[in-house]
């Protein structure tokens, strides 16, 4: 089916590989695209890259129409750029930046090692040094979608192939699937961070019915990690799937709550993406140098994400799995 739609099997392989690696993509996060002439295929909102070879998760859009939405000809959702009107899927909320980046293959991941660097000033300075010699740019944090696309336009030039998104993730672009795959590998190698040992956790009965202790409960016993999670949220998908920060109120009805020196409790019926985002937080904190000072996105940015229709749509798809 996918070959008849014009999709390169190598592109599907790369997309699936990224989607199956929790250090690259968590749950329904991340997106990939490939362009042929005036057409771009991009992952649909709420779909998982891990299913790239098993399901039709990509939508075919009019490339020029998607570019035009960047400049005000549309609302930026690119819903009206889908070539086949019978398709009920929505393009990724990040379709516009895939369209305006003038490379045939574009990948966007929530790479853990990139996030380790991208959530603090010290980390970003280290990333600039480590990526020296590569065609990269740093992009400040802003709400995903059109606002991010416009910042990318300001930060990138025609040669830019790597974009480190502050408090968000990584974009890699190239002429071919192989070139992009190699570029991702090079960035990952340069930004690699050692994983420290975490405190042992002794499972205990939940203090609230319907919740179970998570594997990430070491965070509740680590003073530095505890201080960080109490300060706020550090990237969009944490807010979308887990809510702002981590509540310490077990009666708040949130997906997860934290009890200091005991554990993190997760809803027993939590979705795959929710579990993946809690693991992502743990993976980042285990690699974050103690002298780096991560900066949360802030309450206003959290509120923007919580009240965004595009993200409510993505959450609704996750909840039916």
17-21, 81-85, 166-170: least confidently modelled range: 81-85
In a domain, 200, yes or no: no
In angstroms, the CA 14 to CA 20 distance is 10
In a domain, 196, yes or no: no
186-239 confidence digits (pLDDT tens): 999 999 999 988 877 777 777 889 999 999 999 999 999 999 999 999 999 999
**Helices 272-285 and 223-231: angle between axes, nearest 10 degrees:** 130
End-to-end CA distance of the chain: 23
Q: Based on the domain organization, do 133 and 252 belong to the same domain?
A: no
pLDDT in the model for residue 6: 67
Q: Based on the domain organization, do 281 and 168 belong to the same domain?
A: no
Q: Based on the domain organization, do 180 and 273 belong to the same domain?
A: no
In a domain, 183, yes or no: yes
As a whole number, mean pLDDT of residues 242-250 equals 90
In a domain, 45, yes or no: yes
Q: Based on the domain organization, do 186 and 222 belong to the same domain?
A: no
Name the domain boundary from 158, 191, 224: 191
What is the pLDDT of the chain when averaged over all its residues? 92
125-139, 250-264, 304-318: least confidently modelled range: 304-318
Structural domain containing residue 186: 9-191
Residue 314 pLDDT level (bands cut at 50, 70, 90)? very low
In angstroms, the CA 141 to CA 148 distance is 8
Name the domain boundary from 163, 191, 219: 191
Task: Give the residue from 44, 41, 49 showing the smallest Cα distance to 273.
Answer: 49
As a whole number, mean pLDDT of residues 281-304 equals 96
Residue 5 pLDDT level (bands cut at 50, 70, 90)? low
pLDDT in the model for residue 252: 84
In a domain, 66, yes or no: yes
In a domain, 58, yes or no: yes
Residue 52 maps to which CATH number?
3.40.225.10
pLDDT of residue 253 exceeding 60, the answer is yes
Q: Based on the domain organization, do 232 and 167 belong to the same domain?
A: no
187-196, 203-212, 278-287, 303-312: least confidently modelled range: 303-312
Residue 319 pLDDT level (bands cut at 50, 70, 90)? low
Q: Based on the domain organization, do 158 and 42 belong to the same domain?
A: yes
Q: Based on the domain organization, do 164 and 261 belong to the same domain?
A: no
Q: Based on the domain organization, do 163 and 29 belong to the same domain?
A: yes
Q: Based on the domain organization, do 219 and 142 belong to the same domain?
A: no
The answer to whether residues 45 and 89 touch, using CB atoms and an 8 Å cutoff, is yes
In a domain, 269, yes or no: yes
Q: Based on the domain organization, do 41 and 170 belong to the same domain?
A: yes
Share of the chain above pLDDT 90, in %: 83
Q: Going edge to edge, which strands form the sheet with 256-259?
A: 211-213, 263-267, 256-259
Name the domain boundary from 139, 157, 191: 191
In a domain, 88, yes or no: yes
Q: Based on the domain organization, do 13 and 140 belong to the same domain?
A: yes
In angstroms, the CA 81 to CA 266 distance is 39
Share of the chain above pLDDT 70, in %: 94
Domain count, the chain: 2
Q: Based on the domain organization, do 170 and 68 belong to the same domain?
A: yes
pLDDT of residue 17 exceeding 80, the answer is yes
Strand bridging mode 169-174 / 136-139: unpaired
């Amino acid at each position: 089916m996918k070959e008849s739609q014009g999709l390169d099997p190598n592109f599907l392989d790369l997309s699936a590989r990224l989607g199956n690696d929790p250090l690259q993509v968590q749950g329904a996060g991340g997106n990939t695209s490939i362009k042929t002439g005036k057409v771009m295929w991009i992952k649909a909102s709420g779909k998982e890259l891990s299913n790239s070879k098993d399901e039709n998760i990509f939508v075919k859009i009019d490339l020029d129409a998607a570019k035009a939405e960047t400049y005000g000809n549309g609302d930026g959702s690119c819903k009206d750029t889908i070539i086949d009107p019978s398709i009920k899927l929505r393009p990724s909320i990040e379709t516009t930046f895939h369209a305006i980046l003038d490379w045939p293959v574009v990948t966007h991941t929530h790479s853990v090692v990139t996030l380790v660097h991208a959530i603090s000033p010290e980390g970003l300075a280290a990333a600039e040094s480590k990526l020296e010699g590569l065609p990269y740019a740093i992009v400040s944090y802003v709400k995903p979608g059109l606002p991010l696309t416009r910042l990318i336009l300001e930060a990138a030039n025609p040669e830019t192939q790597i974009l480190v998104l502050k408090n968000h993730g990584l974009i890699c672009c190239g002429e071919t699937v192989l070139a992009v795959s190699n570029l991702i590998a090079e960035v990952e190698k340069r930004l690699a961070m050692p994983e420290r040992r975490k405190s042992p956790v002794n499972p205990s009965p939940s203090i609230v019915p319907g919740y179970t202790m998570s594997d990430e409960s070491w965070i509740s016993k680590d003073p530095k990690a505890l201080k960080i999670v109490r300060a706020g949220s550090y990237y969009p998908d944490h807010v979308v799937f887990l809510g702002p920060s981590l509540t310490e109120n077990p009666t708040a009805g949130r997906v997860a709550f934290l009890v200091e020196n005991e554990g993190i409790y997760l809803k027993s019926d939590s979705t795959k993406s929710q579990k993946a985002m809690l693991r992502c937080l743990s993976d980042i904190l285990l690699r974050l140098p103690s002298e780096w000072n991560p900066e949360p996105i802030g309450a206003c940015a959290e509120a923007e994400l919580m009240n965004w229709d595009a993200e409510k749509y993505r959450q609704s798809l996750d909840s039916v799995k």
